[in-house]
Amino acid sequence: MTEPDLLAMYEQMHVIRKTEKAAHDLFMAGLVKGTTHLASGHEAVAVGASAALRPDDYVFATYRGHHHAIARGAAPEECLAELMSKATGLCQGKGGSMHLTKASSGMLGSYAIVGSHLPMAAGAAWSAQLRGTGQVAVAFFGDGATNIGAFHETLNLAAVWKLPVLFVCENNLYMEYTPIGTVTSVPNPAADRAGAYGLPGHVIDGNDVLAVHDAVAGAADRARAGDGPTVIEAQTYRHYGHSRSDPATYRPAEEVEHWLARDPLPLAHSRFTELGVDAADLDAAEQRAEQTVAAAVDAAKNAPDADPAEAFTDVWADGGSAWRT
Amino acid sequence: MADVVTYREAVAEGIAREMRRDDTVVCLGEDIAEAGGVFKTTVGLLDEFGPERIWNTPISEQAIVGAAMGAAMTGIRPVAEIMFSDFLACCWDYLANEIPKVRYMTGGQVTVPLVVRTANGGGLGFGAQHSQAVENWAFAVPGLKIAAPSTPADVVGLMAAAIRSDDPVVVFEHKGLFASKGDPAPADHVVELGRAATVRDGTDVTIVALASTVPTALAAAERLAADDISCEVIDLRCLVPLDVATVLASLERTSRLVVVEENPYQGGWGGTLVSIVADEGFDLLDAPIKRIAAACVPLPFADALEDQVIPNADAVADTVRTLAAY
Ligand SMILES: Cc1ncc(C[n+]2csc(CCOP(=O)(O)OP(=O)(O)O)c2C)c(N)n1
Ligand SMILES: [Mg+2]
B116 lies in the same domain as B214: no
Q: Are B118 and B107 in contact (CB under 8 A)?
A: no
- The atom of ligand 1 lying closest to the CA of B93 is 1
Interface of A with B in 98-127 (CB under 8 A): 99, 101-104, 108-109, 111, 113, 116-127
Sheet with A201-205, edge to edge strand ranges: A107-111, A58-62, A137-142, A165-171, A230-235, A201-205
The answer to whether position B188 is within a domain reads no
| Boundary (domain end) residue, out of B155, B182, B209 | B182
Please give the tally of structural domains in chain B: 2
The predicted structure's pLDDT at residue B125:
93
pTM value is 0.98
B13 lies in the same domain as B134: yes
Interface of B with A in 182-211 (CB under 8 A): 194
Question: Do the chains contact at A124 and B194, CB–CB below 8 Å?
Answer: no
Query: Across the strands, what pairs with A62?
Result: A111
B261 lies in the same domain as B236: yes
> Does residue B1 carry a pLDDT above 90?
no
- A268-322 pLDDT tens trace: 999 999 999 999 999 999 999 999 999 999 999 999 999 999 999 999 999 999 9
B67 lies in the same domain as B137: yes
Domains (range + CATH), chain A: 3-324 (3.40.50.970)
The answer to whether position B212 is within a domain reads yes
> Does residue B2 carry a pLDDT above 90?
no
CATH (domain of B145): 3.40.50.970
B15 lies in the same domain as B59: yes
| Boundary (domain end) residue, out of B182, B209, B227 | B182
The predicted structure's pLDDT at residue B29:
98
User: Could you confirm whether B189 is annotated as catalytic?
Assistant: no
- Nearest 5°: the CA angle A152, A157, A158 is 100
Domain residues for B254? 197-324
CATH (domain of B211): 3.40.50.920
- B131-174 pLDDT tens trace: 999 999 999 999 999 999 999 999 999 999 999 999 999 999 99
B131 lies in the same domain as B261: no
B146 lies in the same domain as B211: no
B36 lies in the same domain as B113: yes
- A204-250 pLDDT tens trace: 999 999 999 999 999 999 999 999 999 999 999 999 999 999 999 99
B78 lies in the same domain as B172: yes
What distance, in Å, lies between the first and last C-alpha atoms of chain B?
A: 48
Comparing C-alpha atoms, which of B279, B311, B292 is closest to residue A324?
B279
Question: Do the chains contact at A126 and B244, CB–CB below 8 Å?
Answer: no
The answer to whether position B308 is within a domain reads yes
- The pick from A176, A180, A237 for probing ligand 1's pocket by mutation, whose C-beta has the most ligand atoms within 8 angstroms, reads A176
Ligand 1 lined by A175 (C-beta under 6 Å): yes
The answer to whether position B262 is within a domain reads yes
B238 lies in the same domain as B265: yes
> Does residue B180 carry a pLDDT above 90?
yes
Residue B226 makes CB contacts below 8 A (sequence gap 6+) with none
B47 lies in the same domain as B174: yes
The predicted structure's pLDDT at residue A175:
97
B70 lies in the same domain as B143: yes
The answer to whether position B67 is within a domain reads yes
Cα–Cα distance, A21 to B244 (Å, whole number): 51
> Does residue A19 carry a pLDDT above 80?
yes
The answer to whether position B189 is within a domain reads no
| Boundary (domain end) residue, out of B118, B149, B182 | B182
- The atom of ligand 1 lying closest to the CA of A145 is 15
The answer to whether the complex's ipTM is over 0.90 is yes
